[in-house]
Amino acid sequence: MAATISKTRQRDKLTSIFIILPSIILVGIFIYGFIGTTIYTSLTDWGKSAGLALNPVKHFIGLGNYKDLFTGFIHSRFRQDVTNTIFYSLFLLAGTLALGLFLAILLDRAVKYEGLFRTIFLYPMSLSFIVTGTIWRWLLSPNGGINLIPTAFGLPKSNFLWISSRTSILTFNWQNLPTILFIPLGLLTLFLTFRNIRKNKMTRGIVYGIITLLLLLYITVLRNIIPPILPFKEKHGLNLATLGIIMAGIWQYSGYTMALYLAGLRGLSESMKEAARLDGANEFQYYWKIAIPNVKPITLSAVIILAHISLKLFDLIYALAGADNINTGHPAINMYLTTFRANQFASGASMAVILFVLAALFIIPYMIHSHRERKY
Amino acid sequence: MKTQNVKRIIFYIFLVLLIGIYLVPMYMALITSLKEPSKINLLTSWSFPAKLNFGSYSRAFKLLKTDVSNSLILAISATVLSSFIGSINGYVFSKNKFRGSEIVFTLLLFGMFIPYQIILIPLFQVLKSIGLYGSLGGLVVAHVIYGIPIVTLLFRNFYDQIPGSIMESGRLDGAGYFGLYTRLILPLSIPGFVVVGIWQFTQIWNEFLWGITLTKPSANPITVGLSQLAGGQAVSWNIPMAGAFLAALPVLLIYIFLGKYFIKGLLSGSVKE
């Protein structure tokens, strides 16, 4: 009897593997294999001559394409694209999380016709970025749409050039980008150092402490010793032309974070709410002290998904501002132009790899985290 | 009591104002698409048309006819194919776990989160070498393959809710591996198929990057058609706005009438049920 059961088990296991084998092979080739191919392509000079030829000439050139992107004179546009991506991601995240949480709290209080309100806040999410971009392009035209809103209050119309503004604020020298990024990062690791030590997690505390010290070393000493990567000062900053795209993005995705948070808030038990009320907490205190900390896992998923979407803004920017608009650029757009218009496959591949690495910074820790959670 | 009521009324006025803001883009698209081309100017862009003109819709539809039918064929065929793949994969990962299945599942899921630029160049090359570049077939292949992670995840989560005791009693009745699937699991899967079908259909209908890089004009999906309608210095905005409405219509209808299932798909990747 026992032998038959284990035999059936064995056979079922083989059947299972046989069923998912096609998926494994396809994903293995089309995702993992292709990622490898693209990384290899980024290390060649494919596209320098006759990129579209059937048997294109490729030579291995190492990290040359990456060096060009970060220091080459002609790739100044790419460096502004990377800067834009940082701002796109930060604003899109902050805007959708804050607005989504706000809407969720509004609807979390026995609202009449809640379904209707929810539907309207969420409907932009069902649209494609191309539809959103087409409509917002009309809304953001310099002499109409949003710029006319002040006239409804008797004020003169606004003259803001939403997608064609050339103004850039918060400018910094490209050379200083690591320093600018390392300061907040260093503060974060410093905070984590102390928190872990206080919680008696010594190893973690020490690791974070070492990272903090290394960052501090760079900021104070190393950056003055390492020779500059660019022989000239190159200014990059927050292009005001990106604000319209950020606005459209927030319009489209705040309903999504609302739905996430609403599901989370509803998941908190009624007794939790009741206990808070008995303790004399008012509504604000309940949300700030109890509800928001309790929906932290949702914030985490939302951050991952939105960070990932902001790396995919390609469609929205393409439809709203056009691929050739230099002020609203994004590495994904640049990759498309470089690869499919200029046939510079290797250079395009290196941009794709940079996008991928940026995404992987968020995704891989998240995947490991959720894998562990599934296994309990 | 009275202040409570006043507070409540202010609260609702505020909510209504908020939904007004969310509806503005749709309102603008709608009124602009209904105006006569000669009546469209920037200064009156907010005002309702004096006379309704539905001509823009028939003109936009004529321009987008091939793209709409391409997208319908593409979305329906790829959705059907990937739903079945998802169902059988989900059955394995939920009800027939084996040593190492969790790690395989995690490795599959990774494909859901990558920016597709990273696979675009080899995909373009491979489709070109097997003769599918430029055609609708190539897009179907791409959507089915890159849909595997999400459909597997959605079905696995769905099957996780089916209690194991049902499987046990099925086994006692002598049902084998596939018998359990066809006689027990599949009949219970209809809501799962609805969620996955809606999710895949809207995703594929809305997709743009592959449409613009992997198809020739005769096989362009609706998103590409719309972007060309609106691209360049379009003088009369009624046509792109009508086109935007046409492109949005199928997904909006799905969202309005089957919203419950749409939201399920939306949340299932991120909220544990």
- Whether B45 and B160 map to the same domain: the answer is no
Asked if the structure places residue B273 within a domain, the reply is no
Asked if the structure places residue B2 within a domain, the reply is yes
> What distance in Å separates residue B169's CA from the closest CA in chain A?
15
> What distance in Å separates residue B161's CA from the closest CA in chain A?
14
- Whether B91 and B223 map to the same domain: the answer is yes
Instruction: Decide if B247 and A128 are in contact by the 8 Å CB cutoff.
Output: yes
> pLDDT value at position B271?
41
- pLDDT average, residue stretch B113-128: 93
Chain B residues whose beta carbon lies within 8 Å of the beta carbon of residue A374: 102, 105-106
- Whether B86 and B145 map to the same domain: the answer is yes
> pLDDT value at position A376?
47
Asked if the structure places residue B24 within a domain, the reply is yes
In terms of Cβ atoms closer than 10 Å to its own Cβ (0-12, 13-18, 19+), residue A119 is: middle
Beta pairing, strands A168-173 & A235-239: antiparallel
- Ordered mean pLDDT values, 10 residues apiece, chain A (376 residues): 70 90 96 96 80 70 87 86 91 94 88 87 92 92 82 81 82 83 90 89 89 90 78 83 93 92 84 79 82 84 81 88 89 94 92 92 84 70
**Alpha-carbon span A44 to A346, nearest angstrom:** 6
Q: Does B249 touch chain A (CB under 8 A)?
A: no
| A236: enclosing H helix or E strand | strand A235-239
> pLDDT value at position A337?
94
Residues of B170-208 as b/e, b for ≥16 C-beta within 10 angstroms? Answer: beeeebebeebbeebbeeebeebbbbbbbbbbbbbbbbb
User: Which residue's structure tokens are 């494609």?
Assistant: A128
How many domains are there within chain B? 2
**Alpha-carbon span A226 to A220, nearest angstrom:** 12
DSSP state of B130: T
Asked if the structure places residue B26 within a domain, the reply is yes
Asked if the structure places residue B137 within a domain, the reply is yes
- Whether B33 and B94 map to the same domain: the answer is no
- Whether B64 and B179 map to the same domain: the answer is yes
Residue A321 near residue A328, CB atoms below 8 Å: yes
Range(s) of the domain holding residue B91: 55-268
ipTM of predicted assembly, 2 dp = 0.90
Per domain, the residue ranges of chain A are 77-167+240-375, 177-224
| B170: enclosing H helix or E strand | helix B164-172
Instruction: Decide if A35 and B119 are in contact by the 8 Å CB cutoff.
Output: yes
Asked if the structure places residue B156 within a domain, the reply is yes
- Whether B78 and B209 map to the same domain: the answer is yes
Q: Does A15 touch chain B (CB under 8 A)?
A: yes
User: Which residue's structure tokens are 């104070």?
Assistant: A220
Q: Does A322 touch chain B (CB under 8 A)?
A: yes
Last residue of a domain, one of B53, B81, B97: B53
Residue B201 has pLDDT above 50, yes or no: yes
- pLDDT by residue (tens digit) across B171-186? 888 888 888 899 889 9
- Whether B188 and B64 map to the same domain: the answer is yes
Instruction: Decide if B247 and A131 are in contact by the 8 Å CB cutoff.
Output: yes
Residue B75 near residue B204, CB atoms below 8 Å: yes
Token output for B49: 């048309």
Taking each continuous run of H as one helix and of E as one strand, the counts in chain B are 13, 0
Residue A190 near residue A212, CB atoms below 8 Å: yes
Q: Best residue in B117, B185, B254, B262 to probe A by mutation, most A CBs within 10 Å?
A: B117
Residue A68 near residue A222, CB atoms below 8 Å: no
Residue A32 near residue A44, CB atoms below 8 Å: no
φ, ψ (nearest 5 deg) of residue A235: -90, 130
- Whether B123 and B221 map to the same domain: the answer is yes
The number of angstroms, rounded, from the C-alpha of B65 to the middle of its chain's C-alpha atoms is 20
- pLDDT average, residue stretch B129-158: 93
Confidence of residue B265 (pLDDT cuts 50, 70, 90): confident
Identify the CATH number of the domain in which residue B193 sits.
1.10.3720.10
- Whether B2 and B33 map to the same domain: the answer is yes
The proportion of chain B whose per-residue pLDDT surpasses 70, expressed as a percent, equals: 96
Chain B residues whose beta carbon lies within 8 Å of the beta carbon of residue A359: 113-115
CA distances (Å), A288 to each of A101, A278, A292, B52, in order? 11, 16, 6, 50
> What distance in Å separates residue A162's CA from the closest CA in chain B?
15
Q: Does A145 touch chain B (CB under 8 A)?
A: yes
- Whether B38 and B134 map to the same domain: the answer is no
Asked if the structure places residue B250 within a domain, the reply is yes
Tell me the sheet residues that pair with A236. A172
φ, ψ (nearest 5 deg) of residue A194: -65, -40
- Whether B31 and B154 map to the same domain: the answer is no
Residue B269 has pLDDT above 60, yes or no: no
Chain A residues whose beta carbon lies within 8 Å of the beta carbon of residue B89: 19-20, 23
> pLDDT value at position A363?
84
Domain A77-167+240-375 has CATH 1.10.3720.10: yes
CA pseudo-torsion sign B52, B55, B61, B63: negative
Token output for B67: 């793209």
- The reported pTM is 0.89
- Whether B35 and B65 map to the same domain: the answer is no
